[in-house]
A and B are shown apart, each in its own frame.
Chain A
Amino acid sequence: MAAKKSRLSGQGRLESRWGIILAMPAILGFLIFTIGPMIASFFFSLTDWTIGGRPSFIGLDNYRTMVKDELFWKSLSVTAYYTVGAVPLGLIIGFALALLLNQRVRGLSLWRTIYYLPTLVPAVASAVLWIWIFNPDFGLLNSLLRQAGLPTSQWLYSEEAVVPSLIIMSTWGFGNAMVIFLAGLQGVPRHLYEAVSIDGGGAWQRFRHVTLPMMTPTIFYNLVTGVIGTFQVFNQAYVMTQGGPNNASLFYIYYLYRTAFTESAMGYASALAWVLFMVIMLVTFLLFQNARRWVYYEMAGAR
């Protein structure tokens, strides 16, 4: 160690010191606002703390309660259902639009802006907008379906349709995935397309044998961030459905919020938060395990 240290020149020492000092705000922010509360919530999760009362240590009781808590399982399954629907749909739509917006057409940047716009609409505003779109009597969706002579739906008002409705609505937020896909598409080497053309391949072959494999790291990235994001879905339940009807849209984070702030059961809510953290960790771990099979990196071992 000592030998290594002495090899740093004065300039190097100065730079590394400044580097640490300049990185400090981010590091401190992470410690104070992320790691700190996480550790605190872990300890709370081992207590029966309700706001205003004195916490007492109860070990793993909160976690034991959870096993028998019907609403915990309900909210977990509702959230998983939403994730399984929303993530693939978002990926497909984002990818398809990125492919279209990667073509050489006139006014390209205008199109890109327009397709990105919905992502910029504040979450609550778009939720209120969608309440109207989903209105069974005079909403846009049912009006269109009625005119086309198709069966209509009760959308947010029926236990069966509420999560699918919210999944449809989630595609509205494809913009972020789309931008990342676009960036990925820019990085696909031209010469591979030319090689396919020389071999007599058409558009489909170009897509199937060049675009898709070269894009798998980007798809994987969007998949992981998408899963993590949708597990934490909250606004829709909070603004549009309040978890109803009959708890059919009781998303996990909404249940957690309700437990913490209307029932004031902070201890139990902290335990819920930790379980969600574990669930997301586990799912992400499984996704990474599975990624070895299908994600292609040009540089071997870059994963």
Chain B
Amino acid sequence: MSPRMITGPRNGWSRRDLLRLGGLAAGVAAVPGLAACNSDSDGGGSGESVDLQFMYWGSTFEQKAINAMLKQFEQKNKGASVKPLYTPNDYETKVNTLVAGNRPPDVGYMGGSMGYRLAEQGKLVNLFPYFDKYPELAKRLPGTYFWHGKDKTFGTQTANEVMLLWHSKPAFKDAGVDLPPADASKAWSWDTFVETANKLTLDQNGKRPDESGFDPKRIRQFGVSTSIQYAPAWECFLRSNGVDVVDEAGKKCLLDTPEAVTVFQNLQDLMYKHHVAPTPVQLGNNAPATNVQLQTKRIAMAIDGQWMLLDMSQSKIDFGIGVLPSYQEPSTTQLGGASVVFSGSKHPEEAVELFLFHNDPKYVELFKNGLWMPLEMKYYTDPAAVDSWIKNDVHPPEYKTAVVDYTVNHATTAFGQRLKNMDKIGNVLTPALQQIETGKQPAKEILTALTPKIDALLQGWYPTQKL
């Protein structure tokens, strides 16, 4: 039952070798330097070259940064070559196919629930034994680990992300309204949030929702945009209001509690009662990205993830970052896809090295340019380490309080990253959220019908572990 056996041998002429041979032939013709480099590493190594595959998704921008990171890894590790497997669409389908065909990559991104499944099947390396060898691996934010048993973790998030309140400064200036607070202790109440959104919403004739003659069918600028279908955008409000999606045992769904109903009714009311947020119809399913909508003042505020910072800074918007509105306690959602090492790797030690390298802020530009937040605690608490990634043109001045401190003090990991049977639960949850979003029924009715369906699927939480 060794992992190697399940995955099967990888000797002889694999398709990968053939492909590389073809690539080499083309490379020799095109780039003489590359060919020289290649022969160099052949001569330098002890005859055994280390070939790894790194599988990932992301925007074309992320692709560039990841490929640059992999190049650095090759330079720092003589004899190692890493082939990027960039898979922007249908990632899980591809991973499934590779696993079923016994050709998984060595290191890669991974969706949470699929990761748990593969880990339980022994397809992923348990990284816990490596904590002694790489002590910094044990010093990441506690919520970023994926534990699937005692002393068993298949990794951590690729990077960290939190949900924030993005806003267009010009829109606030035009309306003469104060900017959202960037300090969790001063977070808006929900009512203040709705009032502000109201002041920032304008129809084609420049009328606000609370003025007579306002036309909700022709809104030019929406006060805020948020997603009901995307759980990380609302679960933080549940926690802020004193409940969670499911109870601590992970056996009882709490979405029909009065606190949860209030949160969802408020979200639905943003669209259909206050008319300050676009309905799914008004948004359209091929709407422009949030940064474009903020730039064109289609929306004035947006509840969206930290990763937006990359696009925001690229598109030269006069934007700001605030903390989310709060019910009782300030709260935001912390999340991120997983990164894993596959146990079928022929070079497990090098694969773990690559795993540690691939999201190290020292080598990857994606932290400085806004896409990612670091995982290690020191990047949030040690002033020098904090400055190393946020003191630059990309990160605005309020970033320290609105994001770094907010994350350390008020972020809770997305329930989807720790709940068992999440695929099935998602299949039941999503349609109900779509119903809330279409606004035909009040949230209470939908959630009351939904809760027993989720109860039937609940199998508890995956464990957490103190380090």
Measured CB to CB, the residues of A under 8 A from B are 50-53, 71, 128, 131-132, 135-137, 154, 156-159, 240, 244-247, 258, 260-264, 266
B99 pairs with A51, CB closer than 8 A: yes
Given contacts A50-B117, A156-B285, A158-B438, contact A71 B99 (CB under 8 A): no
Given contacts A157-B280, A158-B438, contact A132 B431 (CB under 8 A): no
What 10 additional pairs, Cβ within 8 angstroms, besides A159-B438, A246-B438?
A52-B99, A52-B100, A53-B121, A136-B284, A158-B438, A245-B431, A246-B434, A260-B96, A261-B90, A264-B117
From B11-19, B305-313, B397-405, B422-430, give the one contacting chain A. B422-430
B46 contacts A by Cβ under 8 Å: no
Contacts of A263 in B (CB 8 A): 423-424
B281 pairs with A264, CB closer than 8 A: no
Given contacts A131-B286, A137-B284, A262-B92, contact A245 B100 (CB under 8 A): no
Place the interface of chain B in its size category: 20 to 34
B96 pairs with A261, CB closer than 8 A: yes
Measured CB to CB, the residues of B under 8 A from A are 90, 92-93, 96-97, 99-100, 114, 117-118, 121, 123, 280-282, 284-286, 423-424, 427, 430-432, 434-435, 437-438
A157 pairs with B96, CB closer than 8 A: no
B93 pairs with A261, CB closer than 8 A: yes
The contact sample of 16 A-B pairs, CB cut-off 8 A, is A128-B286, A136-B284, A137-B284, A156-B285, A159-B438, A244-B431, A244-B434, A245-B280, A246-B432, A246-B434, A247-B431, A258-B427, A262-B423, A263-B423, A263-B424, A264-B114
A-B contact count (CB 8 A): 64
Q: What is the bound-complex CA distance between A244 and B114, given in angstroms?
A: 23
Q: What is the bound-complex CA distance between A240 and B286, given in angstroms?
A: 10
Contacts of B99 in A (CB 8 A): 51-52
A131 pairs with B117, CB closer than 8 A: no
Nearest CB in chain B to that of A261: its residue: B93
Nearest CB in chain A to that of B427: its residue: A71
A52 pairs with B118, CB closer than 8 A: yes
Given contacts A245-B435, A246-B434, A263-B424, contact A137 B114 (CB under 8 A): no
A52 pairs with B427, CB closer than 8 A: no
Q: What is the bound-complex CA distance between A51 and B100, given in angstroms?
A: 6
Chain B proximity of A1: nearest CB distance (Å):
45
B280 pairs with A264, CB closer than 8 A: no
Nearest CB in chain A to that of B90: its residue: A261
A137 pairs with B281, CB closer than 8 A: yes
B123 pairs with A52, CB closer than 8 A: yes
Given contacts A131-B285, A244-B431, A263-B423, contact A157 B438 (CB under 8 A): yes
